[in-house]
Amino acid sequence: MKDVTVGVDGSETALAAVEWAADDAARRGAWLRIVHVVDRSPYELAASPELDAALSEVACRIMSGAEKTARARRPGLPTRLENIEGRPADVLRGLADESAGLVLGSRGMGRTAGSILGSVSMQVAGHSTGPVIIVPDRPRRRVGEIVVGLDDTADCHRPISYAFEKADLHGAEIRALHAWSLPTHSYAPAIDYDLNTVRAGQRAVATSRLARFRTRYPALPVSDDLRSAHPVEALVEASREADLVVVGAHGRGRADSIVMGSVSRRVLRHARCPIAVVRPCGRH
C-alpha cells in the first residue's frame, strides 16, 4: 500500500491540504507522509551554524503544526514526518511518483499579489507520473459527487480510474463530464453539421470510455453529463459544487508530454474545490 503524501510549508492552505490528505489516507488505510522540503539554495552564501539552527527550528514548527492538524482531523492515523533538503518542486515531483497521491495547497507562503496558483503547485501538478491533488481551501461539507472530465484521449484511462477508485472509497457518485464543441476557427470546413449525429457520436465515445469502469464498479452510481460547452467553463462550474474534480494532465496526442494541457492549467487556476491532476497514460 502506497502512502498518501502531503507537502507543507507553514501556510494555512497547506493545512487544508493536510486535512484532505488525512481523510484520503484514512479511507485507503494508508499512511500519511507529511513532508517539508527545506530549500537552502537562497542562503548558500550566508551558510553558518546559526542559520542551520534557525532553518531547522522553522522546519520543526511547520511539521508539528501539520501533525497537530492531521491528528485533530483523523486521530490514530499512522503518520510519518520528513524533512528533506532540496528544490521543493523537484523533491515533491519525485514523491508524487511513489505515492497514492501527492496533496498540495493551491497557495503557499510565497504568495505574490495577483497570482492564483502557487509556483510549486504549478511546477508539480501535471509533471509527475503519480496523481497530484491541489486543495484550495479547508474541505467543505461533502456533497457526495466526484466529477471526472472526459476528453477524447484514446486508450488512456488513468484519470477515470482514479475518479472511480475515489468515489468507491468515499461512497460518492461519479459525474462524467464531457464538454464538446464544434470547430469554430476560420479554416473549419464549411459543412452543415447534423447536431444530433455529432451528439450521438460524442455520447458513444463517452459510453465506451466508461464501460469497463462501470463493469468494475457495478454498484457505483454513474451519470453522463454530455454538453456543448467549453471544457474549462464546464469543469470550473462543476468545481463549485463537487467534492473533487479529476482532470487529465494533458489531452490528446501528448501522451508523453510533461507540459500540462491548457484546460487542466486553467481549471487549476479557477477551481473552487480540490482538483486531482492525473497523467492519462502510464504505469500506475
Q: Does 119 bind ligand ADP (CB under 6 A)?
A: yes
Residue 33 and residue 100: Cα distance in Å, rounded? 11
* Member of 4, 8, 81, 260 binding ligand ADP (CB under 6 A): 8
- Any idea of the CA torsion for 267, 271, 273, 278, to the nearest 10 degrees? 20
In which residue are the cell numbers 487544508 written? 16
Please, what is the minimum distance in Å from the beta carbon of residue 89 to ligand ADP?
Answer: 8
Beta strands in 118-194, from DSSP E residues, in sequence order: 132-135, 145-149, 173-180
Site size toward ligand ADP, by CB under 6 A: 23
Helix axis angle for 49-73 and 12-28, nearest 10°, is 50
* Member of 25, 63, 77, 88 binding ligand ADP (CB under 6 A): 88
Identify what 107 binds: ligand ADP, Mg ion, none; CB under 5 to 8 Å per kind. Answer: ligand ADP
Please, what is the minimum distance in Å from the beta carbon of residue 245 to ligand ADP?
Answer: 18
Backbone angles phi, psi at 223, to 5 degrees: -120, 145
Residue 249 and residue 44: Cα distance in Å, rounded? 35
Nearer to Mg ion, 109 or 226 (CB): 109
Q: Does 146 bind ligand ADP (CB under 6 A)?
A: no
Q: Does 105 bind Mg ion (CB under 5 A)?
A: no
Nearer to Mg ion, 111 or 212 (CB): 111
DSSP letter string over 106-131?
SS-TT--TT--S-HHHHHHTTSSSS-
Nearer to ligand ADP, 70 or 281 (CB): 70
The answer to whether 182 touches 198, Cβ cutoff 8 Å, is yes
Q: What share of the chain is helix, strand, coil (3-state, %, to 5)?
A: 40, 20, 40
Return the range that interacts with ligand ADP (CB under 6 A); candidates 30-38, 68-76, 193-201, 228-236: 30-38
Please, what is the minimum distance in Å from the beta carbon of residue 118 to ligand ADP?
Answer: 2
Identify what 275 binds: Mg ion, ligand ADP, none; CB under 5 to 8 Å per kind. Answer: none
Q: Does 36 bind ligand ADP (CB under 6 A)?
A: yes
Amino acid symbol at 135: V
* Member of 108, 251, 261, 274 binding Mg ion (CB under 5 A): 108
Residue 47 and residue 40: Cα distance in Å, rounded? 9
* Member of 69, 79, 105, 263 binding ligand ADP (CB under 6 A): 105
Q: Does 261 bind Mg ion (CB under 5 A)?
A: no
Q: Does 111 bind Mg ion (CB under 5 A)?
A: no
Reading the block at residue 26, the C-alpha cell is 484514512
Binding site for ligand ADP (CB under 6 A): 7-9, 11, 13-14, 17, 35-37, 39, 88, 104-105, 107-111, 118-121
